[in-house]
Amino acid sequence: MTSPPRRTVLAMLAMMLGAFGIGTTEFVAMGLLPEIATGMGVTEPIAGRVISAYAFGVVVGAPVIAIAASRVRRRVLLLALMVAFTIGNAATIFAPNYEMLMISRFLSGLPHGAFFGVAALVAAELAGPKSRAKAVAHVMLGLSIANVVGVPIATALGQQLGWRAAFALVATIGAITVVLLAAWVPDVPQPIGASMRGELAGFRNIQIWLTLFTGIVGFGGMFAVYTYISSTMQQETGLSRALVPLVLMLYGVGMVIGNLLGGAIADKALTPGLVGILVVLSIVLMMFSFTVHIPVLAVTNLMLIAIFASALVPGLQTRLMDVAGNAQTLAATANHSALNIANGLGALLGGVVISAGYGYGAPAAVGSALAVCGLLILLVAILLERRGSFPQAPISASVR
């Protein structure tokens, strides 16, 4: 690594701020659905589709942008993605009707996965091989902090000044991030051999697919619980509605801890660390289903779920870098498409068992089963890796 340490820290901070803005816009709509519904003249369930529009943008945008921009220098790509993110959120502020709001949310979601993926690659390059996962975790930290600080502030702002004010805050964060990225992120040249053909070849790499499915299934267990956490805490644990925001804040703190823990583990022992994290995650999810009626134990286990689910992300991102070969950008960005699919999968299966009458404690048992399935997929990937070979990450030119 040739960049001076101070500039590396500043570059990390700029990318972390971008992650903070993206995390805020992703989740703030959930707390402002009543205001959005009233403002757009639609029902709350219809307004909820703006969340789906954003998620769909994430899933579509990550692989498409990765392939289309395979030869674009990563610093330039980061800037372009954050400009697009800022414009998308600005369009949300001025959306005159529900249809335009849906389009603006879809457009805002397009850069999401690509930004995180490219930022992870840049962070890993700046940090060097011994600290890659920690660097990735520091970028992802912005997303976790958004859940603790950004979303509550933006939600309160939207409730007091109108829902558009929340997205004005996000657009402002995006604009500031563009300036900081331009000032602080050094030029990181593309790896030798980077091309659209190389990225497309990633679709034939079984290790990429198995790692992505590990995230889709294993991480989906967390969303089976988190999606219904407000009702679970009130109806099963017996907490008052006023305490739910505090529980969510504790959950966010757990995510911050998990990100840092996961980065440290992945740098020391990547594969054993991923296996161990999935084992522990499956256990704490099952423990939550058994202790959901005991407030202290329920909240404690909920924090443990947040810690170990978040600890999974830096390791998965780092493993994808290792197995991707010349499809580095595709693999790194597709990870965030996978995590959004995990969101939908966990919410869907959790909703199925609740609708079947098993109660709000049941999604945690489903989540535990998903974590076990994710572990099995990872073990298959490890077995195949030991029996054969997979493309190694390409060598990058030095940072200028």
How far apart CA 55 and CA 57 sit, in angstroms, is: 5
How far apart CA 236 and CA 82 sit, in angstroms, is: 41
Which has more pLDDT, 151 or 108?
Answer: 108
**Confidence (pTM):** 0.82
How far apart CA 354 and CA 361 sit, in angstroms, is: 8
Q: Quick one: 3 and 142 in the same domain?
A: yes
Q: Quick one: 214 and 262 in the same domain?
A: yes
Q: Quick one: 257 and 173 in the same domain?
A: no
Mean pLDDT confidence for 287-316: 95
What letter does residue 191 receive in the DSSP assignment?
A: B
Residues 6+ apart with CB under 8 A from 270: 133, 315, 318, 319, 322
Q: Quick one: 33 and 163 in the same domain?
A: yes
CATH code of the domain covering residue 251: 1.20.1250.20
Q: Quick one: 122 and 222 in the same domain?
A: no
Q: In the structure, what pLDDT confidence band is assigned to residue 4 with cuts at 50, 70 and 90? A: very low
Most confidently modeled range among 12-16, 44-48, 51-55: 12-16
What letter does residue 243 receive in the DSSP assignment?
A: G
Residues 6+ apart with CB under 8 A from 261: 307, 311
CB 142 within 8 A of CB 12: no
Alpha carbons within 13 angstroms on the beta-carbon side of residue 164 total 14
Please state at what angle helix 5-31 crosses helix 132-145, rounded to 10 degrees.
40
How far apart CA 366 and CA 149 sit, in angstroms, is: 29
Record the tokens describing residue 52, joined without a space: 């789906």
Q: Quick one: 150 and 213 in the same domain?
A: no
Q: Is the pLDDT of residue 1 over 70?
A: no
**What percentage of the chain exceeds 90 in pLDDT?**
56
**Tens digit of each residue's pLDDT (9 = 90 or more) over 18-42:** 999 999 998 888 778 889 989 999 8
Can you give the residue range of the structural domain that contains 60? 1-188
Q: What is the pLDDT of residue 262?
A: 94
Q: Quick one: 110 and 253 in the same domain?
A: no
CB 115 within 8 A of CB 69: no
Q: What is the pLDDT of residue 201?
A: 74
Which of the listed residues 157, 188, 219 is the one where a domain comes to its end? 188
Which has more pLDDT, 343 or 291?
Answer: 291
Q: Quick one: 124 and 240 in the same domain?
A: no
Number of domains in the chain: 2
Which has more pLDDT, 391 or 304?
Answer: 304
Chain mean position to CA 76? 22
Q: What is the pLDDT of residue 286?
A: 97
Q: Is the pLDDT of residue 5 over 80?
A: no
Which of 156-160, 178-182, 202-206, 388-392 is predicted least confidently? 388-392
Residues in the chain: 400
Mean pLDDT confidence for 169-192: 91
What rounded mean pLDDT belongs to the chain?
A: 89
Beta bridge partners of 191: 396
Which of the listed residues 188, 217, 235 is the one where a domain comes to its end? 188
Q: Quick one: 166 and 221 in the same domain?
A: no
Mean pLDDT confidence for 188-208: 75
Q: Quick one: 399 and 256 in the same domain?
A: yes
Beta bridge partners of 396: 191
Q: Quick one: 182 and 235 in the same domain?
A: no
Which of the listed residues 163, 188, 213 is the one where a domain comes to its end? 188
SS3 content of the chain, % helix, strand, coil (to 5): 85, 0, 15
Record the tokens describing residue 237, joined without a space: 């644990």
Q: Quick one: 161 and 273 in the same domain?
A: no
How far apart CA 357 and CA 293 sit, in angstroms, is: 17
Mean pLDDT confidence for 263-272: 93
**Tens digit of each residue's pLDDT (9 = 90 or more) over 302-340:** 999 999 999 999 999 999 988 888 788 888 888 888 988
Q: In the structure, what pLDDT confidence band is assigned to residue 389 with cuts at 50, 70 and 90? A: low
